[in-house]
Amino acid sequence: MQTPSITNSDLKPWHFQVSMPQPATHLLHIRFTVDNWQAEFLDVHLPVWSPGSYLVREYAKHLQEFTAQDDRGKPLAWQKISKNHWQIQRHLESESIQISYKIFANELTVRTNHVDSTHSYFNGGATFMFVPQHEQHPLTVEIELPKPEWAIATALPAVEGKPNTFYSSNFDTLVDSPFEIGIHTRHEFTVLGKPHAFVIWGEGNHDSKRIVQDTKTLIETEAEIFGGLPYDRYLFLLHLSSGGFGGLEHKNCCTLNFNRFGFRKLDNYLRFVNLVAHEFFHTWNVKRLRPKALETFDYDRENYTPSLWFSEGTTSYYDQLVPLRAKIYDSKHFLKLLGDSITRLQTTYGRHVQSLHESSLDTWIKLYRPEANSPNTQISYYLKGELVSMLLDLLIRDKTNNQRSLDTVMQIMWQRFGKSEIGFLESELHEAIETVAGTNLDGFWQSYLYGTKELDYNFYFEPFGLEVQAFATTEQLPYLGLTLKGTNGVQSIKTVEANSPAYFAGISPGDELLAMNGIRVTAENLSDRLMDFTAGDRIELTLFQQDRLVHTQLTLQPTVGDRCVLTPLSHPSSSQMENLKAWLGG
């Protein structure tokens, strides 16, 4: 895939220069030149978050050795105004201002920066400064390679006649275009007449040909929903790490992080396929079709929206549905994935406490900052959003005799908002869904979006000949309601489920469990010890709470179902079988 270029006549940009002269030190050296600045002061900010990852990550904590000078090399006075804001005073005779700083980069995730002896990966939000009110000013980025054998991969176009220099029409595009620089492999391919590439850094047991072939079918399947591809070229960046997992979408590329040896087992590989399908689906849903609150990004603070259940949750539903349609796996595996998702939600007590609407708004303080009590108080808008999207898909199909589906909603929203990149309001999303379904859904929204009513899976599955059944994976064990973690011989309470025997006995996360009925207990033998009891038995636990020895008694409860499975009805009707076939494609 040849990198497109633009001519110098198109450029009047401000300029970034990025180098990493000693990659083993994990330092990025940044120089930012602002030309023809006329005001007395120049204010520059470093973003506090990256679109697609809804947490204030305080990227400025990694910035060091800030300096400023004019075009003659004369130092300029400056001061730090706030955590991510610097102000420079210009000399009246200066024609340009050059800012220099370093970024410590030793965190290998899809949203942060990582530099070592083999590569340099960095995201715009965690690296580049912007000038408030001038985010639309064009920019160029010049890369100084530390080694001649290192290569550059980015979705930005190259500047003609300027080696290793790339053009960004504005700051949003720069934030949305990560760089992978170093020793990597590149696999180019064409889908629907447009060039694509997989750039892979790291060693692992992956099969590049298989990844490319399956990715082609995912691209084709998703493009069919929306009526084509909305870009000129697309880049997949894949980091093979020791145990990482994650993805971050961008407008014309995405970054993926996966366990380097996680490709051989089929279920693990299919999890990777779901990851690719998810991030690529964001090419439409969230990168171009996005909530009004995310139409224009504010990089200095949180950007609140109640619609992440649609932006992320609906995408999570499709990341399971698309590989089924692409015939990468069959309906049996798809239904297993849905059962796993239902299990995760139904075994999270927080579903009784936090609504899906609230989960979206609270992502900035909760989802990415889990603590011991999080399972008792919150749910993920990815997870519940996926299941609510599934229910909507089934509802629409049932109401319209499979003439419409959630696909229809995506297509309408794409035509109304995505193509023109106009942000949608929550009410406009609801209106589109209700129009497609042909019915008022106020009760649905109040129960499942704004409220915490249990999802009535079987009501929606019944027309498709399916039902959810709950099983206990440890039928012989009575219910205690805590998880235990052993570290260096210390048995610490990790979590305590709300309304469980342990919860009402006053046991808390962080307590050290010593004994059960006077005999030592460990994380390894807790299940074996519980096998000696039945529901209704009263036991005594001995613990250290804040270094104080405590004896507490509790009554074990009956085993609870902790695994949900989607199963066919015993005698489905012909209409149920036809509905199931229309949904699953076979």
List, as one string, the DSSP characters of 492-516: EEEEE-TTSHHHHTT--TTPEEEEE
Which whole number is the average pLDDT over 243-272?
Answer: 96
Average pLDDT over residues 14-35: 97
Count CB-CB contacts under 10 A for residue 511: 22
CA gap 213, 221 in Å, rounded? 13
Residue range 386-428, pLDDT digits in tens: 999 999 999 999 999 999 999 999 999 999 999 999 999 999 9
Structure-block tokens of residue 260: 């380097």
> What gap in Å lies between CA 560 and CA 253, rounded to an integer?
44
> Alpha-carbon distance 31 to 35, whole Å?
13
Q: Is the pLDDT of residue 13 over 70?
A: yes
CATH number for the region 482-555 comes to: 2.30.42.10
Q: What is the mean pLDDT of residues 150-163?
A: 97
Q: Do 184-265 and 482-555 share a fold?
A: no
Percent of all residues in the chain with a pLDDT value above 90, rounded to a whole number: 94
pLDDT of residue 11: 45
User: Looking up tokens 């994650």, which residue turns up?
Assistant: 246
**Per-residue confidence (pLDDT) for residue 7, from 0 to 100:** 44
- In the chain, what percentage of residues exceed pLDDT 70? 98
Residue 239 phi/psi, 5-degree rounding, is -105, 125
DSSP 8-class letter at 451: S
The torsion angle over the Cα atoms of residues 516, 521, 527 and 533, rounded to 10 degrees, is: -20
> 235 by DSSP, 3-state: which?
strand
Does 1.10.390.10 match the CATH number of domain 284-465+570-586?
Answer: yes
So what's the pLDDT on residue 369? 93
Dist CA 101 CA 441 (whole Å): 53
Residue range 227-241: mean pLDDT, rounded:
97
Domain boundaries of the chain, sorted by first residue? 5-183, 184-265, 284-465+570-586, 482-555
The two structure tokens encoding residue 452 = 């915490």
pLDDT of residue 269: 97
- So what CATH class is 184-265? alpha beta
Residue type (1 letter), 39: A
CATH class held by domain 5-183: mainly beta
Distance CA 61, CA 206 (A): 35
Residue 1 has a pLDDT of: 58
pTM here is 0.94
Closest by CA position to 235, among listed 251, 247, 258, 246: 251
pLDDT at residue 470, rounded to an integer = 87
